[in-house]
Chain A
Amino acid sequence: MADKKTLTFALMDPPYENARSTTALRLINIAAKRGYDINVFAYEGSVFLAFAMQKPHPNAMHGRNVEEENHVLTKELVSSLMQEAMRNGGKIDWVNCGLCVDERGAVEAVEGVRRGSPADFLKMAASSDNTLVIGTRG
């Protein structure tokens, strides 16, 4: 692919809290569909996006069982984004900040996610065509 690009995204927000996580995953999805190489540096609470222990749940308030609730798990979205990138000739290098993982106990991550440090983010940014930092609201 002549116009193949490499983009880096730095994320900070945990899942299920605000729209930034959704927008970030939408952006990564667009890049994955184009077959771009994508780097993701998950910092702070965003290490939970790929947390392997996420489980679907029923919703007693609405009287729905697990199947009816059909709860979206971000770990599954992360895995499907990786598959989507591969299907289109790209790849996703997803790095969880190791210190952020340890202090939150978010050690288990879905396949394809590796542990790293902010130094990895620097390398990612330096080797990319562009970088977008989606910071937590200050």
Chain B
Amino acid sequence: MANYLFIESRDPYGSNDTQFCCDLAKQLAQQGDAVTVFLVQNGVFPARAGARADELSALAKAGIEILADEFSLRERGIPTDRLTAGVKPAPLDVVIDRLADGCKAIWH
């Protein structure tokens, strides 16, 4: 089993290629790999409660850990208690933690 970290910096409202990242994450999780999706920059927009976030819901259902960069949330005025189900706020340090642990990291 491998550990994967997807760093998603794009949001589905301004980019038409975020589905690829979610699909790949789900496929890896389905084959038994440990997958985390870390939302950063505009990537945190779909994490707002009430936002259209079908992809994030699908990731959560697949058992994928979804984290949202606290700084990016704060920059965009998104309170951490107003995140959609399955998304947890986290410091950017998590990315360095995972890199240091040898996680396979993919920036998108």
- Band of interface residues on B: 10 to 19
Selected from A3, A23, A34, the residue in CB contact (under 8 A) with B92 is: A23
B1 adjacent to chain A (CB < 8 Å) = no
B100 touches A36 (CB 8 A): yes
Contacts of A27 in B (CB 8 A): 92, 95-96
Contacts of A99 in B (CB 8 A): none
How far apart sit A7 and B98, CA to CA, in the bound complex (Å)? 11
B41 adjacent to chain A (CB < 8 Å) = yes
Given contacts A19-B9, A20-B41, A23-B41, contact A30 B93 (CB under 8 A): yes
How far apart sit A130 and B99, CA to CA, in the bound complex (Å)? 6
Selected from B9, B41, B92, B100, the residue in CB contact (under 8 A) with A130 is: B100
How far apart sit A23 and B41, CA to CA, in the bound complex (Å)? 8
29 contacts between A and B (CB under 8 A): A3-B100, A5-B99, A7-B100, A19-B41, A19-B42, A20-B9, A20-B41, A23-B9, A23-B40, A23-B92, A26-B71, A27-B95, A27-B96, A30-B93, A30-B95, A30-B96, A129-B99, A129-B100, A129-B102, A130-B99, A130-B102, A130-B103, A132-B7, A132-B99, A132-B105, A133-B107, A134-B107, A135-B107, A137-B10
Residues of A whose CB lies within 8 Å of any CB of B are 3, 5, 7, 19-20, 23, 26-27, 30-31, 34, 36, 129-130, 132-135, 137
